[in-house]
Structure 1
């Protein structure tokens, strides 16, 4: 397939996904923060908490409405730009997305109307239940989408049907409860909770710096910092499990995340480092210009064993007999056997040659796990972009550590001191809001760029997944979406900043 077409299709989907992910995390976390605030209102019957809830609920609604638009476009792109992928995944990828649309999105959108417009029209308790159901529904939407994405990272619970050339689900629970999908879901929603907490404490800090709506800002900051600290600790735990699953299921991604060329026992993790741009698989130059390594940490992070062997890029490309790792070249040979067996099966079926069909099906089944390698032309093509993965991963980790520290500082100063006496902390809190988005986007870059060149890990490279359409059409739609999404983002920022400047005292 034309290389430029694939590149433009990838660029378009990356553009849509990254813009969509600007809106989603705030929805995931702010929904629960609003629900907590409304719970306090219902329990205390204090109008202050109703006013506080309605203010944050308005910001939630703005973000929710704009985020829906990008999500719908992204789902359509599977059919327009990735038709071969959509066919190959059969009912597996579509089923979770269908459940998300029918169950989760329907639930959150239905109760969103009650939550936003139902004040004084339904009872307090029913309104509170509606608010909680919107928050839960948003997270259930994320569950089904991330189950689908997790299957792309680690395909399971299916069999390949050579008659239809589709993967078909044979165990729904294997797909739903895949350890990759579960760890991805937990880590992703936790990152959304942390980002929403940063948003709440950052906006509250702005009010305190302006010396207005002080009680509202202080109370909101305590809730935001408490929610943020709890969820940031959960983010660390879920991140550990997510990295463990990457080590087990996608070792090349882990090697790229750490810039690890040579496999090591007792491997350390690079806490801070600068990659050598001249380093390649073939030369013997140092991987890093500068590095600070924590001993044993990568072995423990990846395999929960400080003495474990962590395969490097060279091990995964050239193989390592001592560690039972077969080379990419061997996988390519097995993949070609699978591809050829599928063609033989289809020809035998046309001629009604039963024995040849059985023989071809046996070869196909034996080598199906490497099917995608049959379309790989060069072993080094399976190496994802190392610098993008390395820096994205480390930016995410460093910023995540700062967020945890910030929540501790803000919570301490908000409960034990007067935080208004610490303007430098308030300014740091305000300017940390964009850092939350950077960390969140960096995490998705690691997840998606780290599994390249695969659309489905080991089964389908992106070059085969794309639709055969005119490159010009994709280019035109790319720029249309870029303009549209940028306008939506600008609109959200303007509407939100306007609401924030109005403040909580205005009736929402």
Structure 2
């Protein structure tokens, strides 16, 4: 393989591993805010115990997320020097804003969140939890803004020529609110909420099935289920908005997502299928004219197809893009069905009586993570052959001095290190989960049996 393919594989490896952790941090942060908020409102120590337990899990994911994110910044300079020069002014402003508005907020409150339980008042600790969560949300804003600018550039002009050309910002807010940033940001946020909520659902479903921490787990399960139900339904709306934006701003990507070739034909929507690139057709189960209806509310309106673009401006890995996109959609629809059914059972008072449902929630922790990963794969592969859409080709963005052997060696090295890190993450998570929430605080709040007898005797007198 050549340097371009190897460099893309290297970056895909590092960012995919990193992206396991930030969504968990954002989603867990939201659940923790609800837990601490309920404790402040009700003074029920069970919510306090839950918040303390999930703070320990949060600390693990947050720490590994920060460590793995640093690697990508070095890759911009080592493997993608031309790209770094081209987008440096744009990315520099976005990453500077992240440092000011996100990292400063997170780091300012993180110490209180982790070590301030017995040192500050519950209200101050709640503010710290809220600050860390908002910091993680702000961090996502600037990363998505930077990435969205690559998809739909705005608020810039090009200075210099050839290898010395670079994009300079002419309108900061036009760059921030480029045509795809808001839709993509809400989609990413909600995916993160689902990742965190389903981790909580999985762990506490496991406890209930094992008859451990049952009462406290029921409370945590209800909180996470409420978050997951709202988020899964909201994702349907944000996903549709994002698809409309792709149709308007990146029609070649949309055509690749649905395997649509002919611009003179209506566009079908596939439930599943297989793209035959040579015969320019998709074989599978489809809704005739479904994509045309979603985009134009008309089953007969043609949609721009891949044949409308020069061959060297079309995404190449069509079947992979198609499959990744449809896996994401299928998981999203399953999560909607699962959370709605569970919510109905909650309303009927039968949520925790169905062991098969709890078992599904135990293993469903993987689904939001898979959906987040394949969604990014579809978005980034669908942008090809451009690294900055319509402006800079991926093949032109590489460093000129890096060799294929050097990149291959780094891929092997990263694979080993990340495997060890992931094993450590699983070990630490499993250890915390097996230990479970510390319910000793609850026993301190319960009246002793002797005291209850005295109260009973006095009442009889």
TM-score by length of 2: 0.91
State how 1:90-489 maps to structure 2 within 5 Å. Answer: 90-162=88-160, 165-264=165-264, 266-276=266-276, 279-280=277-278, 285=279, 287-289=281-283, 291-303=284-296, 306-316=299-309, 328=310, 379-380=311-312, 382-468=314-400, 469-489=402-422
- What RMSD over aligned residues (CA atoms) do the two structures have, in Å? 1.8
- 1:506 Cα shift? 5.8
Aligned residues of 1:244 and 1:304 also touching (Cα < 8 A): no
Query: CA contact under 8 A between 2:179 and 2:245: conserved in structure 1?
Result: yes
- 1:417 and 1:240 map into 2 onto residues whose CA distance is 33
Shift of 1:185: 0.7
- Name the structure 2 match of 1:16: 14
Counterpart position of 1:491: 424
CA–CA distance in structure 1, aligned partners of residues 333 and 216 of structure 2: 28
Q: Which runs of 5+ in 1 are unaligned?
A: 317-327, 329-378
- What is the alpha-carbon distance in structure 1 between the residues aligned to residue 299 and residue 118 of structure 2? 59
| Cα displacement string for residues 323-357 of structure 1 (whole angstroms, at most 9, x for unaligned residues) | xxxxx2xxxxxxxxxxxxxxxxxxxxxxxxxxxxx
Contact 1:384-1:451 within 8 A present in 2 as well: no
Structure-2 separation of matches of 1:109 and 1:473: 35
Q: Give the count of matched residue pairs.
A: 438
Q: Per-residue deviation at 1:383?
A: 2.5
- Kept after mapping to 2: 8 A contact 1:104/1:137: yes
2:19 aligned counterpart, secondary structure: helix
- 1:415 is displaced (CA, Å) by 4.0
Asked whether the 8 Å contact 1:218–1:414 carries over to 2, the reply is no
Q: Which runs of 5+ in 2 are unaligned?
A: 442-461
TM-score (structure 1 length as normaliser): 0.83
Where 2:158 maps in the other structure, the secondary structure is strand
- Range that drifts further, 96-105 or 48-57: 96-105
SS of the residue aligned with 2:60? helix
Task: Write out the 4+ residue segments of structure 1 that deviate beyond 6 Å after TM superposition.
Answer: none
Per-residue Cα deviation, 1:376-433 (whole angstroms, up to 9, x for no partner): xxx3463331111111111100111111111112223234233332111111111111
Q: Measure how far apart 1:22 and its partner are.
A: 1.1
In the TM superposition, what is the alpha-carbon distance from 1:306 to its structure 2 partner? 4.7
- Contact 1:55/1:504 (8 A) holds in 2: yes
Secondary structure of the equivalent of 1:458?
coil
TM-aligned CA distance change 1:304 to 1:32, over 3 Å: farther
